[in-house]
Structure 1
Amino acid sequence: MKNLNSKNTTIQPVTLDKQSYDLAIVGSGISCTYTLIHYISLLQEKLSKTSGLPNKLIKVAILDKSGEFWTGVPYGSRTGKQSLIITALKEFLPPDEKGRFVTWLTDNYDSVLQSLKTRPGVLNQHWLKSYEDIMIKGNWDELFIPRYVFGWYLKERVEKLLTEAKNKEYLQCDLFSGEALNVQKIDGKKYQVDFATSAQNNSLIAEKVVLAIGSPPNKASFLSNFEKSEADKDICAIADMYEPSQNSNIDRIVEFLKQSNTPQDNKVLIIGSNASALETLYSLNNIPEAKNLISKFIVVSPNAKFPHRIYDDPTPNNYVAQNLVTLTQSEKFTAEQIFEAVKQDVNAALAQGETVDGTYKVISKEVITALNLLDFAEQKMFVIKYGIEIGKYQRRAGQDYLNIVDKLVSEGKLEFIKGKFIGTTEGKSGFEFMDSSSQEKQTFGEPIKVVINCAGFQDLTKSSSTLIRNLVDQGICTPNDSKGGFTMSGDFEVNENLYLMGPLVAGNINDKLKVWHAESCGRIFNLSQKLAEALV
């Protein structure tokens, strides 16, 4: 087994100017990785039905801004080794792929265990102590494993497939390290992908291109409230916890707070209460030096709630989502009514002593039943708006993360504020927010030393990404009505021979797909298989 920390890959990045390829994939996270895995598998199947000899060598180019291929942000070094998958492994992957991963974990158990033992941090040590016996017995299904281990698996799997394809002379893959700036049509059919490296601007030509660029950038308007010069020493502002990496930002926070003359004022403000906010809280409490320097955490978000807890045995007792069931028996109803019925069912379940985790599958099943009974116009409203809103009521996370939340609350070191962050106050002694209930501007008057942005993603029509802006301005890609994804066909085409995979697939409805959320690993696995079929 290769060392995960090694920077050597089977196929080295190249920097050749304007090479021509059959296929180029922009971005090399799991959207790219699974598309490539499925693509190669389909090519192998195709070859096995013929003479076993390829008609031609297929040339593939992969472009990635970070130069870290196959893992993306969540499963690579930018997230670090302390972050956990947000759901248990049995939910994280479809059954067949989960089986492959578990086989890999079993075959490479000694190397995996040794790597887990070297992770720094008190919570990392506690995690291993709690689950080592379970891992030894091979009972992986209930575990919320560290995400980098899955990235390790993906990297080995795709590199093995690429090596086999190269040796059998039917596919060659070149890797490019650089930031994609533009994709433009040339000669009516081909595409030129322009990108910048640390040394120069460059480009490549491809017959087909897949945009696998991950989620849009986070909303970062709050940065306008800070002076961006090195002279500003009042507040440590983190616009993106994973850029350049979570570990480097934790180090930055620690060094900043060490300089504080008023340690009682070392409050950390986290904007947002999504999974990345929860992970940030966990990671900062994993490092004793960081934890001991922070006097309090403030979390501000419109709902002021972290995801609900996932339990080991979530099965409810004969639970019925009565409001959804009644709605589906109506002659006609709307997407908004499905949303309201979910809210009522969730609140009723909690009042009856049930849990969101325990009712999740029942409610989800009824939602799909209701969705399929809507007319097309209402299905579209569900896809572009209400599907995401329903997801907010059913957000779940594992106990490893939420135990830390409970501990901080009991110690008085975590405060929730229900509202939308506006900006820091004059003199940067606190911050302003729009109260969710009164819709009035209010002020948190206590000093804040660190601000971490874990807000949602930008509207694609107002993106700070050079690539996204260029794609939209040229009319190459068109934001769909959700403004969180690009309009595409049932074969994932956003333009002729230009395809889409990953979170930007969200907000699409056509004769083949209804996608309101495309960020989970399992969903990307399934969608990328359909894309690979279209490409082959």
Structure 2
Amino acid sequence: MSRKIAFVGAGIATSYTLIPFLEQWEENSLDHLELYIIDKSNDFFKGMPYGERSGKSVLLIQDLKNFISEPQRTHFKNWLNENIDGLAQEFVEHGGHYASDWVRKNNATYIKGDWDDLYIPRFFFGRYIEQEVLQRIEKLMSKNCLSVNYIKKEIVKITRQGENFRLFFDDGTHLDVDKTVLSIGSLPYKQLYEKPILNKENALYIKEPYGVGMEENMTQIVNFVKNRNKKNLPTKIAVLGANASGLEMIYKICDKLPLEEYQTSFKTLSSHGVMPDGTVDHEKAKSFEPKHLIALSHKKTLTAKEISEAAHKDIDAAESLEIGAATSVGIISKGFGALLPRLDEGELSNFACFYGNQIGRRQRCAGSHYLSVVDELSKRNRFSHIKGRFVQLQENENGLEVSYTSTDINSGKNTGKEDFNIVVNCLGSVNLMADDLSPFFKGLIADGLCTPNPSQIGFHIDKKMQASKNLFVAGPLLAGNQIEDKIFWHLEHCVRIIWSSNVLSKNLWASLTEKVAV
């Protein structure tokens, strides 16, 4: 009898579920296994951040030692040492002057195998993890105990057939499987503007950084700016959202369009009004204490709200001392992390669903490679930040008008408007209660296959990591859950994805062996 398992989404959550699962299958194969790997893109096993959609000239937002944990990190570094010459050449070929600078500055470090402090090109990791999965697949296929079917289609609906599933695709076809792993990454981007652009010389809207692919977006932006530059017209660029995606867009634009040659200026819009921090002050770190969190260690009972309020007060204190997130994040995270085990199950859920992400939004960090571009723009008076929340976008004779409500208590005004030529939407994803949620997600919820947890960005799972029987969840849609002894308010971090995927692999294997036992 053949088992049929579908993975809906083929990013690194799928990869790190498959690696231990296939190793287990090789050791204890029960019978023949049919895998169906489904994705609407060609980035099988790499996913959006590390595949073609992100392009080959963007870097990790973290240094390598914080990006991936052991033992995976050492194995990855060994692979890098063996393949770096070809990878570096490919990086330079697809990047601009920043890519060449990266190789020049870091060559002496990485040829010695010193990778831990480097912010490496993201596609390096994508190439590595793809090979790791394919090697295991090919080994099992050669033993005739595994078949793998790659389906490059968009899934539009899942229905239950007893304990099994029927998966429907956008071309009208369907597939019947025994088990399904929902591993489709983050929720879809918010749709801010859907009207056609009328004046294509004055206005360009990029609806999301990676949907059609970073390189395709960059081609549009480069052509737009160059055409304006020929007419000696400056180009004002608004990046909505001061997060990793926003930083990447600024970096990529300046990489392709050097500041000395093009009349570009940038503004970002975010509610907190600050960019991620990248400078660690080791002296200030020695003296800073999260006093409000420490004070809670003496309380007999605690709530998630109390921990959150104390963390925010400590972040306020750090900011008042001009201590940035890169310096304080480890200290404050350790402070509230020590208190979480004292919460009961209900309060842990509250922290995961409501409070963890609120703290995280105030402690965003990034590498100097991205932030140095912002610094250079600022020195040239070509970058500033709007502290506010997006309201609407509309086209006018000058380009695209961005309207926002101010969150700056010192601004003296409640609302604002400004015209830009390019607007890039990096405001992030919808939630599971949004009116414009895709029909696919709405169907999962309406049919009772998945139930949003209170975070509204993840699905409720049981102890086996199932949203419902035989429907497992992997990756970012696990946000707002407790898995074994850990709680997760987001799963964008590779370390969290690897750990949770390893647990899922064990649960998936157990579900197969339980069926055999019956």
TM score, norm. by length of structure 1: 0.88
Cα deviation code 1:135-184 (max 9, x no counterpart):
01110000000000110101111111110011122222111110011111
Q: Residue 238 of structure 1 aligns to which amino acid in structure 2?
A: I
**Partners of 1:193 and 1:205 within 8 A in 2:** yes
Residue 340 of structure 1 aligns to a residue whose secondary structure is helix
Matched with 2:516 is none
Q: Measure the CA separation in 2 of the matches of 1:480 and 1:320.
A: 34
Q: Residue 457 of structure 1 is aligned with which of 424, 429, 441?
A: 429
**Partners of 1:274 and 1:306 within 8 A in 2:** yes
Matched with 1:324 is 293
Matched with 2:178 is 207
Q: Measure the CA separation in 2 of the matches of 1:242 and 1:338.
A: 35
| More moved, 374-383 vs 264-273 | 374-383
Question: Aligned ranges for residues 247-326 of structure 1 at < 5 Å?
Answer: 247-260=215-228, 263-288=232-257, 292-311=261-280, 316-317=285-286, 319-326=288-295
Q: Residue 11 of structure 2 is aligned with which of 29, 39, 63?
A: 29
Q: Measure the CA separation in 2 of the matches of 1:385 and 1:62.
A: 33
The answer to whether residue 142 in structure 2 is matched with residue 170 in structure 1 is no
Residue 242 of structure 2 aligns to a residue whose secondary structure is coil
Q: Residue 388 of structure 1 aligns to which amino acid in structure 2?
A: N
Cα deviation code 1:427-447 (max 9, x no counterpart):
2643211111459652334x3
Number of residue pairs aligned between Structure 1 and Structure 2: 502
* Percent pairwise identity: 30
Q: Residue 454 of structure 2 aligns to which amino acid in structure 1?
A: D
Q: Measure the CA separation in 1 of the matches of 2:250 and 2:310.
A: 32
Residue 377 of structure 1 aligns to a residue whose secondary structure is helix
Matched with 2:189 is 218
Q: Residue 420 of structure 1 is aligned with which of 370, 374, 389?
A: 389
Q: Residue 483 of structure 1 is aligned with which of 456, 462, 468?
A: 456
Matched with 1:64 is 39
Cα deviation code 1:322-366 (max 9, x no counterpart):
211111212333322222222222333344464432333232122
Q: Measure the CA separation in 2 of the matches of 1:271 and 1:155.
A: 32
| More moved, 323-332 vs 333-342 | 333-342
Q: Residue 61 of structure 2 is aligned with which of 72, 86, 97?
A: 86
| More moved, 454-463 vs 433-442 | 433-442
- Cα 1:171/1:338, change in 2 over 3 Å: same
Residue 49 of structure 2 aligns to a residue whose secondary structure is coil
**Partners of 1:488 and 1:508 within 8 A in 2:** yes
- Cα 1:117/1:257, change in 2 over 3 Å: closer
Q: Residue 478 of structure 2 is aligned with which of 488, 495, 505?
A: 505
Matched with 1:409 is 378
**Partners of 2:270 and 2:386 within 8 A in 1:** yes
Q: Residue 467 of structure 1 is aligned with which of 420, 424, 440?
A: 440
Residue 520 of structure 1: how far off its partner (Å): 0.8
Q: Residue 235 of structure 1 is aligned with which of 192, 203, 226?
A: 203
- Cα 1:172/1:413, change in 2 over 3 Å: same
Q: Residue 397 of structure 1 is aligned with which of 366, 374, 394?
A: 366
The answer to whether residue 490 in structure 2 is matched with residue 520 in structure 1 is no
Residue 300 of structure 1: how far off its partner (Å): 0.8
Q: Measure the CA separation in 1 of the matches of 2:289 and 2:240.
A: 36
Q: Residue 74 of structure 2 is aligned with which of 99, 105, 111?
A: 99
Matched with 2:120 is 145
Matched with 2:512 is none
**Partners of 1:490 and 1:512 within 8 A in 2:** no
- Cα 1:315/1:535, change in 2 over 3 Å: farther
Q: Measure the CA separation in 2 of the matches of 1:424 and 1:56.
A: 56
Q: Measure the CA separation in 1 of the matches of 2:292 and 2:36.
A: 51
Matched with 1:112 is 87
TM score, norm. by length of structure 2: 0.91
Matched with 2:406 is 435
Cα deviation code 1:250-300 (max 9, x no counterpart):
111222234438755410111111110011111111113688444311111
Residue 416 of structure 2 aligns to a residue whose secondary structure is strand
**Partners of 1:82 and 1:119 within 8 A in 2:** yes
| More moved, 350-359 vs 411-420 | 350-359
Q: Measure the CA separation in 2 of the matches of 1:115 and 1:82.
A: 9
- Cα 1:118/1:396, change in 2 over 3 Å: same
- Cα 1:217/1:428, change in 2 over 3 Å: farther
Matched with 1:371 is 340
- Cα 1:494/1:416, change in 2 over 3 Å: same
**Partners of 1:285 and 1:291 within 8 A in 2:** no
| More moved, 115-124 vs 285-294 | 285-294
Residue 352 of structure 2 aligns to a residue whose secondary structure is helix
| More moved, 317-326 vs 97-106 | 317-326
- Could you tell me which runs of 5 or more consecutive residues in structure 2 were left unpaired when the two chains were aligned: 510-518
Q: Measure the CA separation in 1 of the matches of 2:30 and 2:449.
A: 31
- Cα 1:349/1:162, change in 2 over 3 Å: same
Q: Measure the CA separation in 2 of the matches of 1:21 and 1:105.
A: 36
- Could you tell me which runs of 5 or more consecutive residues in structure 1 were left unpaired when the two chains were aligned: 1-19, 48-53
| More moved, 434-443 vs 372-381 | 434-443
